[in-house]
Amino acid sequence: MKVDILEVKSQLLATKMEAVVFVLLVGLTVVLAQGTIQEVQFGVGRELVLSPVNPPTPITSITWKRNGDFVAEKIDAGSAIEYFGVLKGRSRLNSTTGVLTVSSMNKDDKGLFTVEINGKDQSVGFNVVEVLPVPKPEAIVRPLTCSDSSIECKLSCEPTGPLVNVEPVEYFWILGGKQQPGKNFSITNDEKTKAIKTFSCIIKNKISQEQSEPLENPFNKKPPGLNGGVVAGIIVGVFVFVCATLGVAFRKKIKPYLQCFKDDHHSVPGEEGGNK
């Protein structure tokens, strides 16, 4: 009885191993049949262009499908191109190059696009996914205390919104009219850098790009300006000084006349008393 149980376990183990090998072989066959899948991004309202990879020439027949449904087909060299499904009216097939173009893409147009040329499935398919426009970036200098007395500072290009369904993205810096790739960039306090008035950065993806507001070069020291309050204070001070000076001068000038008037005023009562 004990021997029978061992034999049963061995048979079950062998059966499981055969099943695993079978599944792996089937999976490998499916992968080989599907070939390579390339991801292609599109923006809503924009145009999608799909190009077969290394197509045979000449192309006598071609069929494009989306999620297994027909999109466009040309049966043979003498037939016309026929369009199908929800993309009909927005699709355009170049029967010479095999390129499929779909205009005014919307969210529901995503999916797996495959192409068959001259009766053979092509080894490269296209996973078409939606991508959103990039948010506007902000150019930031670090540390925040960076000034004309700093030796070196770092510039960072930061998106002002989320990057969900936006990536992959690329970053560029505009330095003196030239573009420099990279999200972060170091600047050194030298004459060459000081000649640049402002810095700005760009973030872009497959369908869009945005540029930041210009960031003033922290290494460019500006002479301190006079604000409105200071100017008003200076004007008031000057006015008071001028008025005081003129007042003193005027007083000195008319003082003799005032003394005469004072003397005359005191002599009148005496004269009147003597006459009486």
Q: Name the residue ranges covered by the structural domains of the chain.
A: 33-130, 137-216
Distance between CA atoms of 93 and 55, rounded to whole angstroms? 14
| Spatial CA neighbour of 216 closest among 146, 133, 117 | 146
Pairing of strands 36-42, 124-130: parallel
Distance between CA atoms of 126 and 49, rounded to whole angstroms? 11
Note the CATH architecture for domain 137-216.
Sandwich (2.60)
Q: Per-residue pLDDT for the chain (276 aa), expressed as one digit of tens each?
A: 444 554 544 565 455 445 433 433 333 333 334 579 999 999 999 999 999 999 999 999 999 999 999 999 999 989 999 999 999 999 999 999 999 999 999 999 999 999 999 999 999 999 999 999 999 999 999 999 999 999 999 999 999 999 999 999 999 999 888 899 999 999 999 999 999 999 999 999 999 999 999 999 999 865 444 444 544 555 555 555 655 665 555 566 555 554 544 454 444 444 444 443
Question: What phi and psi, each to the nearest 5 degrees, are found at residue 159?
Answer: -70, 140
CATH code linked to domain 33-130: 2.60.40.10
Distance between CA atoms of 123 and 114, rounded to whole angstroms? 9
| Domain 33-130 identical in fold to domain 137-216 | yes
Whole-model pTM? 0.59
Within 8 A by CB and 6+ apart from 260, the residues are none
